[in-house]
């Protein structure tokens, strides 16, 4: 038998009504979410279509990837360590060190961005560029992206030699941090046109990559964080200036901004290079030591040429001393009247000229084409010195014989030239 309870039935009806209202509210919320999702998906689709339309083909990122990988393969093929190359090895190939970079080797600011210190360093950087590069290249189009990468790399290198001028550094990290900085700058500058989900995905990927590079930068001495932060700042600043809404209608303005930034940024980088303090890197002996170490760390095929050069220098140094002493001795006698001018001239032409001429034969067996540039330059200076000394005694002997003051003055000029060449040789 069922007993009807009005109060209990009312409670049941109330609960049922609440349940229906909850379901209706949930349905409405779901409809709102579905609409928001549809709008976001539509924004993403339109954004992606706009990107593909304004940048249908990518070539800068693949070219940079290929250049960095090719450079590393060539380095390893010529004997550089695959996993842990030395500082001298990477310096030889173009890494940056303020002692060299701030004293004439300005080109290291650029070459350092394509040199990597081991396979892990290369893989981390190339993976980072592979993830970030295509998106940023499409956002800024190839010319704008090249400008960002170029100037971020320069900015990172300049920051590196400013902050740690005596540390050897290399890698594309500064430029890659600039690419991420550009992504952040675009998101900040064009937040109204960039779909939220797209920005979140790129941001998360970028933060992961930044974290990997940060840990690597702390664990590898030659990868300094100043270069990373310098590149990041440059990339962000450029994006704040160059960012435009996605679409072909902005291509012309985007191109003009990229060209202006490229030329002005490069000019500014040149100015910064010359303004950087050089107190910490002004030691000429340290420059010489590093340059010599770089040259002598060359491959085995050059070692025999270097040994031949050094042996020739030792033999020539002895001969140079003998000829110089003989010249000084007879000149002193001639000045005191113990030797007649004609006897002095005859000695010069018959003894000194042939001996100086033969002195260059000491270097005939040196394979100059196998010498590193450091030794090639020194060899060229020595040969010029020998020729200047030969010309000096020749013109002096002929001038005395013919009583020709002009020829004697020419002989003096040759002697001064030989002194200058010898000074250059010692400074190399």
Question: Per-domain residue ranges for the chain?
Answer: 1-53, 60-284, 298-427
Q: Note the pLDDT of residue 356.
A: 92
- Please check the confidence at residue 245 and state whether its pLDDT lies above 90: no
Nearest to 176 by CA among 122, 139, 245: 122
- Please check the confidence at residue 99 and state whether its pLDDT lies above 80: yes
Query: What does the alpha-carbon distance between residue 29 and residue 35 come to, in Å, rounded to a whole number?
Result: 10
- Please check the confidence at residue 223 and state whether its pLDDT lies above 70: no
Kindly state the average pLDDT of the residues 113-133. Answer: 90
Q: Note the pLDDT of residue 375.
A: 78
Question: Domain 60-284 belongs to what topology?
Answer: Rhomboid-like fold (1.20.1540)
Contacts of 73 (CB under 8 A, 6+ apart): none
Q: Note the pLDDT of residue 110.
A: 93
Give percent of the chain with pLDDT exceeding 70. Answer: 77
Cα distances from 297 to residues 99, 119, 222, 232, 294, in angstroms, run: 18, 20, 18, 34, 5
Q: Tens digit of pLDDT for each residue in 179-200?
A: 989 988 888 887 777 777 777 7
Q: Note the pLDDT of residue 288.
A: 64
Q: Tens digit of pLDDT for each residue in 388-403?
A: 999 999 999 899 999 8
Active-site positions read: 173, 228
Cα distances from 198 to residues 48, 159, 202, 244, in angstroms, run: 10, 31, 6, 17
């Amino acid at each position: 038998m069922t007993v009807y309870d009005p109060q209990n039935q009312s409670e049941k009806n109330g609960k049922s009504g609440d349940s229906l209202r909850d379901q209706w509210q949930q349905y409405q919320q779901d409809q709102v979410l579905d609409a928001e999702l549809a709008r976001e998906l539509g924004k993403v689709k339109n954004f992606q279509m706009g990107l593909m339309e304004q940048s249908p083909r990518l070539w800068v990122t693949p070219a940079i990837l290929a250049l960095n990988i090719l450079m590393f393969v060539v380095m390893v093929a010529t004997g550089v360590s695959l996993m842990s190359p030395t500082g001298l090895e990477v310096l030889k190939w173009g890494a940056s060190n303020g002692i060299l970079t701030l004293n004439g080797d300005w080109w290291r600011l650029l070459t350092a961005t394509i040199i990597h210190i081991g396979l892990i360093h290369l893989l981390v950087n190339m993976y980072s560029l592979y993830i970030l590069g295509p998106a940023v290249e499409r956002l800024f189009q190839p010319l704008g992206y090249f400008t960002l990468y170029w100037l971020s790399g320069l900015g990172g290198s300049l920051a590196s030699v400013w902050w740690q001028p005596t540390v050897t550094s290399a890698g594309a990290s500064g430029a890659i941090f600039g690419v991420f900085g550009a992504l952040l700058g675009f998101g900040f500058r064009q937040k109204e046109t960039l779909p939220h989900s797209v920005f979140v995905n790129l941001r998360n990927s970028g933060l992961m990559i930044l974290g990997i590079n940060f840990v690597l930068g702390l664990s590898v001495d030659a990868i300094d964080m100043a270069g990373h932060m310098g590149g990041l700042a440059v990339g962000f600043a450029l994006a704040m200036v160059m960012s435009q809404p996605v679409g072909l209608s902005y291509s012309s303005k985007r191109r003009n901004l990229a060209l202006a930034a490229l030329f002005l940024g490069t000019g500014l980088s040149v100015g910064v290079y010359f303004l950087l303090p050089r107190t910490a890197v002004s030691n000429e002996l340290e420059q010489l030591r590093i340059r010599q170490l770089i040259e002598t760390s060359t491959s085995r095929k050059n070692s025999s040429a270097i040994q031949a050069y050094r042996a020739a220098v030792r033999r020539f140094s002895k001969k140079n001393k003998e000829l110089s002493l003989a010249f000084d001795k007879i000149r002193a006698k001639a000045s005191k009247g113990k030797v007649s001018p004609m006897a002095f001239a005859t000695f010069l032409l018959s003894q000194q000229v042939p001996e100086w001429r033969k002195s260059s034969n000491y270097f005939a067996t040196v394979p100059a084409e196998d010498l590193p540039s450091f030794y090639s330059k020194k060899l060229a200076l020595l040969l010029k010195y020998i020729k200047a000394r030969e010309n000096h005694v020749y013109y002096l002997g002929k001038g005395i014989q013919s009583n020709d003051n002009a020829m004697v003055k020419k002989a003096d000029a040759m002697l001064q030239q030989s002194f200058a060449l010898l000074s250059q040789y010692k400074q190399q």
